[in-house]
């Protein structure tokens, strides 16, 4: 992937264009070093840029800057240059000869708003606010001809570091070409209930047309939570309108508590108010909570209406939106009232994950890693190579792993839609996870985090029972740690865990169907009693 960019990538532009933030992100994505020449100059000179300007004048600063540039020229690093560097005589040629130059362009207003404490910027110090704007305008005007000699110009006005980074990679042809970002399709083959999962980047605008094509619906309700609706609702609704579908947004409160009969009752009323009929499509826009709730709504309203999933969390993309299980909770337990109701379409736009906090991204990835452990060693090894890039949502690797993950889940679901046999291997890691969730009352740990702990535990138990070769658990643990995920069971007495295992709802005749790993990529169901799952010492030494 790096062939075309074997040498230095120079970022030029005005102060406030975002060169440092974008440069660091770019460096992280490409696995390269990041250098800021201003910082280099300051460390060489032992004083701030402002002090160099004040004590020795601009000429002295420029010669230090030139020396710093010479130190890195030709090295495979991402280098952010000071705003005036490229305007120096001969500099544009020097930069282009040693690599590629990207100009981050932003308007004077944006630049000034981002500069903040202007007193630290020598070229603005001592000016009144109004004078600063004209000074920035003036500087931009003089420098623009030099900036324009960059290899490419990238718009940086929106200040979205990830989006700007994507644009740069695209402009440089480094984004694995069009093909790497092209939409992926995974078919879930369930006879007349078959449907497609479409996975892409920045595809929300096309969702409406796709929904129209697979439902014949003229009306839609979009079920979502406030934050997700605010960010992505309008784009989805605009695309529905463009496809001739009239829609209404139904917003429920954020969090698991919305997966309740009370909220459901309200949604039925909302559907009636909207004159919904059997052709009205229910669209879930959000995480697993919205998906389960809206899915159960769709399964039951008028004995079932068309349903579409637009998942916006990693967990919902990796797991909850595929497979047709929908449910609400009762006070006495999660998912106690539910149905199987397959969607007509699952529309995944990875761009929506950019606003998802990193902890939530890692949380959802656990189920993807799980798919690798139980079914596909190549997927697991892909994570061993690229997990950081996936956490950064780099399009190529993220599309690859989600596509593979969906294929695996689709395959397993297609063979066992109602969870009578094979589908149970998807519960790998979940036996202990459910016990942990019961004991912690679903607080503190997110579902995926608990599953990660359960996976390491299940792999260790598999090794101890002689089912799996040594080393499997260590590899799973190392991978989870790289994603910042916990791997140790919460410190509670063994007795408490045993009690929690005994109430596992998947238990039959005193036994729990424990999912063991045989080797990476292969899992198997074994019937064990709680005491066999959790013999003394299984939680680690020192645990009773």
Ligand X SMILES: NC(=O)c1ccc[n+]([C@@H]2O[C@H](COP(=O)([O-])OP(=O)(O)OC[C@H]3O[C@@H](n4cnc5c(N)ncnc54)[C@H](O)[C@@H]3O)[C@@H](O)[C@H]2O)c1
List contacts with ligand X (CB under 6 A): 225, 227-228, 254-256, 259, 286-290, 292, 312-313, 315-316, 319-320, 323, 325, 334-335, 352-353, 355-356, 360, 447
Catalytic residue, chosen from 179, 262, 303, 420, is: 303
- 70 an active-site residue? no
- Cross-strand bridge partners of residue 282: 221, 307
Indicate if 447 belongs to the active site: yes
Active site residue 19: no
Q: How far is the CB of 536 from ligand X (least distance, A)?
A: 32
Catalytic residue (choose from 65, 174, 367, 403):
367
> Coil, strand, or helix at residue 220?
strand
Angle at 476 (CA atoms; ends 414, 374), nearest 5 degrees: 20
Active site residue 419: yes
> Which residue lies nearer to ligand X by CB, 115 or 339?
339
Tokens at residue 28, please? 């992280």
Q: Which of 25, 143, 235, 325 is catalytic?
A: 325
Please tell me which residue in 132, 181, 259, 409 is annotated as part of the active site: 409
Given the residues 382, 434, 460, 461, select the one marked as catalytic: 434
Please provide the size of the chain in residues: 544
Cα–Cα distance measured from residue 502 to residue 495, given in angstroms and rounded to the nearest whole number = 11
Q: Which two tokens stand for residue 409?
A: 């889940």
CB of 323 to ligand X, least distance (A): 5
Provide DSSP, 133-187: HHHHHHHHHHHHHHHTTSSEEEE-TT--HHHHHHHHHHHTT-SSHHHHHS-EEEE
Residues 6+ apart with CB under 8 A from 18: 104, 106, 114, 156, 159, 161, 164
Q: 460 vs 197, 533, 537, CA distance in Å? A: 34, 11, 12
What is the distance between the alpha carbons of residues 198 and 469, in angstroms, rounded to a whole number?
A: 37
Q: Could you tell me if 220 and 192 are in contact, meaning their C-beta atoms sit under 8 angstroms apart?
A: no
Where on the phi/psi map is residue 537: left (φ > 0), alpha (ψ -120 to 50), or beta? Answer: left
Q: What is the DSSP string of 417-437?
A: TTSSSGGGGGGTTHHHHHHHH
Closer of 30 and 298 to ligand X (Cβ):
298
Give the nearer residue to ligand X in terms of CB position, either 264 or 315: 315
Q: Reply yes or no on whether 427 is catalytic.
A: yes
Give the residue with the Cβ less far from ligand X, 52 or 228.
228
- Options 256, 419, 524, 532, the catalytic residue: 419
Nearer residue to ligand X within complex by CB, 358 or 495: 358
CB of 54 to ligand X, least distance (A): 45
Separation of alpha carbons 409 and 319, rounded Å: 8
Which CB, 19 or 259, lies closer to ligand X? 259
Cβ nearer to ligand X, comparing 27 with 366 = 366
Q: Is 250 helix (H, G, I), strand (E, B) or coil?
A: strand
Is 519 annotated in the active site? no
Active-site residue, 341 included: no
- H/E stretch holding 378: helix 377-391
Question: Is 409 among the catalytic positions?
Answer: yes
Contacts of 257 (CB under 8 A, 6+ apart): none
In whole angstroms, how close is the CB of 321 to ligand X at the nearest point? 8
Tell me how far apart the alpha carbons of residues 333 and 336 are, in angstroms, rounded to a whole number.
6
Least distance CB 227 / ligand X (angstroms): 5
Q: How many CB atoms lie within 10 A of CB 261?
A: 13
Catalytic residue among 430, 449, 460, 461: 430
Instruction: Measure the CA–CA gap between 157 and 160, rounded to whole angstroms.
Output: 8
Q: Which of 105, 181, 447, 461 is catalytic?
A: 447
Residue 5 or 316: which CB sits closer to ligand X? Answer: 316
Running DSSP on this structure, what letter comes out for residue 310? E
434 has catalytic annotation: yes
Q: How far is the CB of 264 from ligand X (least distance, A)?
A: 14
The set of catalytic residues is 303, 325, 367, 409, 419, 423, 427, 430, 434, 447
């Amino acid at each position: 992937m790096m062939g075309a960019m074997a040498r230095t990538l120079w970022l030029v532009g005005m102060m406030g264009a975002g060169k440092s933030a974008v440069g660091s992100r770019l460096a992280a994505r490409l696995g390269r070093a990041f250098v800021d020449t201003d910082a280099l100059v300051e460390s060489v000179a032992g004083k701030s840029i402002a002090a160099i300007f004040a004590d020795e004048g601009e000429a002295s600063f420029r010669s230090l800057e030139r020396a710093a540039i010479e130190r890195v020229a030709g090295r495979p690093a991402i280098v952010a240059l000071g705003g005036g560097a490229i305007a120096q005589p001969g500099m544009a040629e020097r930069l282009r000869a040693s690599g590629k130059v990207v100009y981050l362009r932003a308007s004077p207003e944006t630049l000034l708003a981002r500069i903040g404490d202007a007193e630290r910027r020598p070229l603005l110090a001592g000016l009144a606010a109004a004078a600063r704007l004209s000074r920035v305008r003036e500087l931009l005007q003089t420098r623009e001809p030099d900036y324009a000699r960059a290899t490419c110009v990238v718009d940086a006005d929106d200040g979205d570091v990830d989006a700007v980074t994507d644009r740069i990679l695209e402009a440089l042809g480094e984004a694995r070409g069009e093909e790497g970002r092209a939409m992926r399709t995974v078919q879930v083959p369930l006879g007349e209930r078959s449907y497609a999962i479409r996975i892409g980047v920045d595809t929300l605008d096309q969702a409406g047309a796709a929904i129209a094509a697979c439902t014949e619906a003229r009306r839609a309700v979009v079920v979502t939570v406030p934050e997700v609706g605010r960010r992505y609702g309008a784009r989805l609704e605009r695309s529905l309108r463009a496809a001739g579908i009239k829609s209404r947004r139904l917003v429920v409160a954020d969090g698991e508590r919305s997966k309740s009969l009370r909220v459901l009752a309200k949604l039925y009323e909302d559907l009636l108010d909207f004159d919904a009929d059997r052709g009205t499509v229910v669209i879930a826009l959000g995480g697993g909570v919205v998906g389960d709730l809206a899915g159960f709504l769709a399964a039951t309203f008028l004995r079932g209406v068309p349903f579409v999933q637009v998942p916006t969390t990693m967990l919902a993309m990796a797991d909850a939106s595929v497979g047709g299980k929908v449910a609400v909770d009762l006070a006495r337990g999660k998912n106690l009232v539910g149905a199987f109701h397959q969607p007509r379409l699952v529309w995944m736009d990875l761009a929506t994950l950019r606003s998802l906090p990193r902890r939530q991204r890692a949380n959802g990835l656990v189920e993807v890693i799980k798919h690798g452990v139980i079914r596909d060693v190549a997927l697991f090894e892909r994570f061993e190579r690229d997990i950081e890039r996936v956490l950064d949502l780099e399009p190529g690797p993220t599309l690859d792993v989600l596509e593979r993950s969906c294929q695996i889940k689709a395959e397993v679901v297609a063979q066992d839609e109602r969870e009578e046999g094979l589908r149970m291997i998807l519960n790998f890691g979940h036996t202990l996870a459910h016990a942990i969730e019961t004991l912690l009352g679903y607080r503190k740990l997110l579902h995926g985090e608990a599953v990660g702990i359960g996976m390491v535990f299940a792999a260790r138990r598999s090794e101890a029972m002689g089912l799996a070769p040594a080393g499997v658990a260590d590899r799973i643990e190392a991978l989870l740690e790289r994603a910042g995920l916990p791997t140790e069971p919460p410190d509670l007495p063994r007795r408490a865990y045993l009690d929690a295992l005994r109430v596992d709802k998947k238990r039959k005749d005193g036994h729990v169907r424990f999912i063991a790993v045989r080797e990476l990529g292969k899992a198997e169901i074994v019937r064990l009693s709680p005491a066999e799952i959790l013999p003394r010492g299984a939680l680690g030494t020192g645990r009773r």
